[in-house]
Structure 1
Amino acid sequence: MGPLFYAYERIEMSKSETYVKRTEEFLEKLSGELEFEVVDVEFVKEAGEYYLRAYCDMEGGIGIEDCAEISRRLSDWLDENDFIDEGYILEVSSPGLGRALKKDKDFLRELGKEVELKLYKPREGVKDFEGVLKSFDGENITIETEDKDEVFTKKEIANIRLKIDF
């Protein structure tokens, strides 16, 4: 049963990746017209429901009306193209305050801001770091912590997001 399950799981991932890629491509075209940035797109299953989520932003922040317009246009396009086999819920929103940094453009945009990151494996017994995002060269991320500059590769990082101060 193990190999069959793995093969099934891989097929599902491929479908999900296809859904995300096609949706991102449409949103990138639409972003030129409506002047917004596509931050991330995900197709995930949560509590038995599939969700197609698009996180968008714009200069000065994205509003509810902007999200509603993007959602209407995206929904119409999805209805026309009908390439997602599963039933799903469409959500279009801002990426939020503690947004995850995933793409190269995210790292470049957020240079100089405070971040929190979690490693897959501990470094000298520590998995969680926080500090200022000092530099990014496409593979290496430098964080200025209280003690020193720490350099991480993207592969080491399980999660990195903007720090939220309350």
Structure 2
Amino acid sequence: MKEWGDPLFCLSLRGEAGLAGSKKGGVAAAVWELAQPYAEKLGLSVWDVRYVREGGSRFLRIYIDRPGGVGIDDCEKMSRAVSGPLDRLDPIAESYCLEVSSPGVNRELTRPAHFARYRGAQVAVRLIRPLPDGRRNLHGRLAGFAGGDVILAGESGQTRTVLRKDIASVRLREDDFVEETEET
């Protein structure tokens, strides 16, 4: 039986100077650059990094992935690997909670590599503003990604280009998610 470790998912860290705003791309870009080599050493990749404020708390979220998926042990190892270097980098002046997790089944596609990897998959596109018919959600097969625009194919095969400026988010649809394995 597998024992659960004592993961360091939430660390309260306090920085003094911080890099927020001092580096192009801000905190998320600096943390991505720091975290990716550690992820690679663990056989992982960084899927996304988010620095968010929810209520009165701040969260630094590092999403990790690999073919076949990640487990709690992977999250724990990644958390331990990056917590010391994050202390030294000191990218955030305020206290924050570090969370390391999988991007999940309904993962958000944000980078060109994400769209290339899941071309042909079923996705849900949330729009910033509703269409004239009132819809804010579109569903279809991801047929392409060009210049930040998403190309969706409907059941009939018709395609529709959704401009990046109109997109709030693009996520995989859970019912069509197929876990990748080493063989695929």
TM-score tier, shorter chain, comes to: 0.7 to 0.9
Correspondence for 2:82 among 71, 74, 78: 74
Matches within 5 A, 1:1-166: 14=21, 17-125=25-133, 126-147=135-156, 148-165=158-175
Task: Give how far 1:124 is off.
Answer: 4.0
Secondary structure of the residue that 1:14 maps to in structure 2? coil
* RMSD of aligned alpha carbons: 2.0
Percent identical among aligned pairs is 34
CA contact (8 A) 1:98 1:163 kept: yes
Structure 2 residue ranges without an equivalent (≥5): 1-19, 177-184
| CA 72–116 in structure 1, closer or farther in 2 if over 3 Å, else same | same
TM-score under structure 1 length normalisation: 0.84
CA contact (8 A) 2:39 2:64 kept: no
Question: Could you tell me how far apart the structure 2 residues matched to 1:45 and 1:32 are?
Answer: 28
Question: Could you tell me how far apart the structure 2 residues matched to 1:134 and 1:107 are?
Answer: 9
Secondary structure of the residue that 1:77 maps to in structure 2? helix
TM-score under structure 2 length normalisation: 0.76
Task: Give how far 1:15 is off.
Answer: 6.8
Secondary structure of the residue that 1:28 maps to in structure 2? helix
Question: Could you tell me how far apart the structure 2 residues matched to 1:87 and 1:22 are?
Answer: 17
Which structure would you say has the larger RCO, counting Cα contacts within 8 Å and 6 or more residues apart? Answer: 2
Larger helix percent: 1
Count of aligned residue pairs for this structure pair: 154
Larger strand percent: 1
For residues 114-158 of structure 1, the C-alpha deviation after alignment (integer angstroms, 9 at most, x for no partner) is: 101122233342322101111112333211113421111222211
Of the structure 1 ranges 47-56 and 150-159, higher mean CA displacement relative to structure 2 is found in 150-159
